[in-house]
Amino acid sequence: MPDEPTGGQGEGAHQQVPERSVEIPPRIESDLSKPNDNAASDNKDRCDETTNELVRVEKAQLKINTRLVKITAIAVVASIVSVVVTTWLSQRNARIDQRAWVTVSSVYFERVIAINEAPKIAMILSNSGKTPALDVQIVGQCGYGTSPPAAISRDDPTKGVSTPSVIGPGEKMTTRPHSQVPVLSAEVVQALRNSSIRFFIKGWISYRDIFGKAHMTTFCFAVDGKEMDELLMETCETTTAD
């Protein structure tokens, strides 16, 4: 007789183990496992924007610095101009305050007008300035008529030029015209006394101040009628002085 399996080993030997299928889940690729092109692009854009912004800031700062330099330069130039103008004005005012001022104080006859004689005339010049008047000269012309003589030229042979002289500050000087004083006839003297005509002396004074600047003072004096006996001539035109 065939041997029978013992202890149930026979059954166990013939049992089949059921097969189990294991499902493998699909591979999930993580975003961290591959580069993110969009993130890199965003980072590059942000870097570019930051760089551009820095460039704009630098350009703006450069413009501001350039303007500040220009403003500073203008301020320096303005300051220099101010100093120059102030210095010039100060020197000018000092010269005006200290310079000589020469005018004609009076003109008079040294003796009464007589027929067939040339009047003798004297002039008193004064320097009202604080410094001497240098190279003082008088250019004048004497004559008679209904109005003062025309403008006098240095080339006029009848005009007279005095010898250059100096008038100190606050001083006066008496001088006599070197011009040709006309001899007065009886008719002229009569016309002067009845005021039909007047006797004139007209001219100018030239001089220099101690600063080297030239100056000129004009004068015009006249006399007629009863004033002739008083010997003092009166101003007939507005005096100008520079």
How much is the pLDDT for 176? Answer: 79
The alpha carbon dihedral of 4, 6, 11, 12 has a sign of negative
88 and 61 in a common domain: yes
Report which residue type is found at 165. S
- What's the confidence (pLDDT) of residue 179? 64
Whether residues 73 and 187 share a domain: the answer is no
Name the pLDDT band for 21 (thresholds 50, 70, 90): low
Please report the sign of the dihedral spanned by the C-alpha atoms of residue 61, residue 65, residue 71, residue 74: negative
Range of weakest confidence among 117-131, 137-151, 192-206: 137-151
- Same domain as 179, residue 139: yes
Confidence of residue 24 (pLDDT cuts 50, 70, 90): low
What is the Cα–Cα distance from 145 to 198, expressed in whole angstroms?
6
Identify whether residues 107 and 189 lie together within a single domain: yes
Q: What per-residue confidence (pLDDT) applies to 235?
A: 85
Q: Quick check: is 107 in a domain? A: yes
What amino acid is encoded at 98 in this protein? Q
Same-domain check for residues 154 and 226: yes
How high is the pLDDT of residue 27? 61
Average pLDDT over residues 112-136: 91
Residue 66 or residue 100, greater confidence: 100
Residues 196 and 166 in one domain: yes
CB 125 within 8 A of CB 171: no
φ/ψ of 25, rounded to 5, equals -65, 145
pLDDT of residue 157: 46
- Given a contact cutoff of 8 angstroms between Cβ atoms, the answer to whether 198 and 144 are in contact is yes
Nearest to 240 by CA among 219, 215, 209: 219
Better-predicted residue by pLDDT, 91 or 219:
219
Residue 217 has pLDDT above 80, yes or no: yes
Residue 123: which of 102, 144, 145, 147 has the closest Cα?
Answer: 102
C-alpha span between 160 and 176 (Å, rounded): 10
d(CA 146, CA 222): 10
Residues 74 and 115 grouped into a single domain:
no
- Residue 125 shares a structural domain with residue 94: no
* pLDDT value of position 86: 81
- Give residue 42's pLDDT: 65
Question: In the prediction, which pLDDT does 130 show?
Answer: 94
Q: Which domain holds residue 89?
A: 37-98
Instruction: In whole angstroms, give the CA distance from residue 211 to residue 220.
Output: 28
Using an 8 Å Cβ cutoff, are 207 and 165 in contact? no
Q: 26 falls in which pLDDT band (50, 70, 90)?
A: low
Q: What does residue 47 show for φ and ψ, rounded to 5 degrees?
A: -65, -40
Highest mean pLDDT among 5-9, 93-97, 152-156, 201-205: 201-205
* More confident site: 39 or 8: 39
The verdict on 125 and 216 lying in the same domain is yes
CA distance 98 to 89: 14
